[in-house]
Structure 1
Amino acid sequence: MVVDDSAIVRGLIIQMLEKSPDIVIAARAANGEAALAELGRVEVDVIVLDLEMPVMDGMTALPLLRAKQPGVKVVVASTLSQRNARISLEALQQGAADYVPKPETGTLVRAEAFERELVSKVLALGRRVPAPAIPAAEPRPRSTVRPGAIAIGGSTGAPPVLLELMAGLKGVTQPILITQHMPATFTALLAEQIERAGGRPCSEAKDGEPILPGRAYVAPGGWHMTVGRSGATPVIRLNQEPPEHFCRPAVDPMLRSAVEVYGNRLLAVILTGMGHDGAEGCELTAKAGGRFVVQDEASSAVWGMPGAAAKTGLAEAVLSATSIAPWIMEVCK
């Protein structure tokens, strides 16, 4: 179902989605109240939801839609402003599965990147396919040293999981590197939320700054965050090399570089997200003697990224969202 107060935008979004033979438009609505009425007559897998609408806006409608049809996945589509970024992050906290920044109406017709992102997210969230079998973990020596750094990657559905995880890691002194697939306007706001939830200093990473114990660093939108050295001190390195897995920031560049610096003292965590970003980096982490864990399918909005990492057969554990923090706390003692 597509919910947007602009008939033009609603029509363009529907045209984009209908190009995929695997997507069927079950309903359309001009505001949250009309969307609730539509849910009373049809069942849908995914709702593409605008935020700013008359009668009933998207934030008001979101919990009502999820209550009326439990299990429905909501993708927020809203223009990328500072205000909308804050509201959209709140929507993710309230249960929206993902966000797609919507171009201005005049450029929507030519917005190929928006179309690709929207279609791929709707397909990932709406697809009902059995999960592939996970190979048994390969027996290999595990690092017995305390981790020197924790690197976390996530995408679709990860922000609320990430905040819960950070709240559970308040006693951990290791620096924490975070790459979340998000636009630039969002990542600074996400860092603010992480600082509040985790009770530790957190900010968008800056090129050249030292990686210090007790701090958290968020990859800024539009930049890959990697790890380098300045003398003996690990430091943040930012670059705008080509996107990987259609993403910048991406998780794999962070993990590849962190392995070079921390070796068997790196602990990686892959949270819910579509695609397979992070799997290569996790494999390198394990083969260097480090450790990685992934979020399980049952607690993931999309078991793409964690599933791909798990399929390497090298994951030390596949854990529910609520079990990851206790596991890390034990490892970091």
Structure 2
Amino acid sequence: MNGKIKVLIVDDSAVVRKILSSGLSKYPDIEVVGTAPDPFVARDKIVTLKPDVVTLDVEMPRMDGISFLQRLMAYYPLPVIMVSSLTQSGCETTLKALEVGAVDFVAKPTLDVSNSLNDVIDELAEKIRTSVRVKIKKKVLKTTDTKRPQTSQALIKTTHKIVAIGASTGGTEALKEVLTQMPPNAPGIVIVQHMPALFTKAFADRLNTLCAIRVSEAKDGESVVPGTALIAPGGYHMALNRSGARYYVTINQDPPVRRHRPSVEVLFESVAKYAGANAIGVIMTGMGDDGASGLLKMKEAGANTIAQDEESCVVFGMPKEAIKLGAAEKIVSLEKIPSAILSFLN
């Protein structure tokens, strides 16, 4: 885009507004055009200042962040990045915000806000740059369907099959779309979704209430079995391993790979090594290139591979890089990923 990225900061804390405003202003391509202490002031400033991106605190006075976000997405859709506290309620509210239409989030620890916020300024700036390229569509608010899905699939072949999925920006909703379509006897699924610690457990618990399969945050040494999806814990790499016919995951805090921990690359490379042709790899929406070369290694090891197409991605970064490498056997829309996975099992 031409010119600076115009940002509006919405937070009830004057301290937070000042730190975010001064912190983001040091980047030559970002201009903080205004701040607002609550959604009502923010509403008027959005109309007059026409920001490209809004940062929004999840917990706000007078009108909570979710209610404001719902109205914004319905009437004046634009990229919104949530600024979330690392609490149980903060995690749950953030996941709801992503469901409603927020593009991404940054987490602010609850202790020593001034120092911790300075630590996330770089992350926030990077996500602002990414979000301004996201296609935002008007979102009609839907009631969350908590019914467990019915599947028309008869018993599918699951012997020793592993499905490995990697996602980043936009991935929480994309993963929900895929996992809610998995039948109860689906192969074991291992997932890396770029998220900080605490959020992955809340995310897994939320998915577990919606899916026919069991979804949980992975534990070191946990078996990968049919009907189960394991999500890498935030802040930890997850790798697949094998002992005889048993697949299991290992969790570690080795240095970040491709600037991420958990890294999709780590997961995919381990799946290529230990599952080979018995695996299916899926790379989905996300910025950067994490997992692209790992998906290629899976393909070279005989695995079936799938990349999400550009049109259905929030950010066409990771799938694009995988496709450029020739790592994707199939390139399909988000809604067709579940059937593509299942087609490889028969």
For normalisation by structure 2, the TM-score amounts to: 0.86
Q: 1:153 is aligned with what amino acid?
A: G
2:34 to 27, 39, 46: 27
Range moving further from structure 2, 282-291 or 251-260: 282-291
1:38 to 39, 45, 52: 45
Deviations 1:10-69 (A, max 9, x none): 121122222222222233211111111112223222211001221222111111122232
2:230 is equivalent to residue 217 of structure 1: yes
SS of residue matched to 1:25: strand
Which residue pairs with 1:124 in the alignment? 130
Matched-pair contact (CA < 8 Å) for 2:79–2:134: no
Deviation at 1:104, TM superposition (A): 4.0
Matched-pair contact (CA < 8 Å) for 1:171–1:329: no
Matched-pair contact (CA < 8 Å) for 1:32–1:53: yes
**Gapped regions of structure 2 (runs ≥ 5):** 1-7, 136-157
Q: Aligned partners of 2:163 and 2:214: how far apart in 1?
A: 15
2:91 to 80, 85, 89: 85
CA gap 1:54/1:303 in 2 versus in 1, 3 angstroms: same
Which residue pairs with 1:240 in the alignment? 253
Q: 2:30 is aligned with what amino acid?
A: I
Q: 1:259 is aligned with what amino acid?
A: A
Root mean square deviation, CA, Å: 2.0
SS of residue matched to 1:183: coil
Range moving further from structure 2, 76-85 or 308-317: 308-317
Which residue pairs with 1:73 in the alignment? 79
CA gap 1:83/1:258 in 2 versus in 1, 3 angstroms: same
For normalisation by structure 1, the TM-score amounts to: 0.89
Matched-pair contact (CA < 8 Å) for 1:80–1:101: yes
Deviation at 1:146, TM superposition (A): 8.3
2:189 to 152, 176, 183: 176
Q: How is 1:23-172 mapped onto 2 (pairs within 5 angstroms)? A: 23-70=30-77, 72-104=78-110, 106-109=112-115, 111=117, 113-127=119-133, 148-170=161-183
CA gap 1:128/1:199 in 2 versus in 1, 3 angstroms: closer
Which residue pairs with 1:6 in the alignment? 13
Aligned sequence identity (%): 38
SS of residue matched to 2:297: helix
1:289 to 302, 320, 327: 302
1:315 to 299, 303, 328: 328
Superposed structure 1 runs of 4+ greater than 3 Å apart: 103-107, 109-113
Matched residues, number: 317
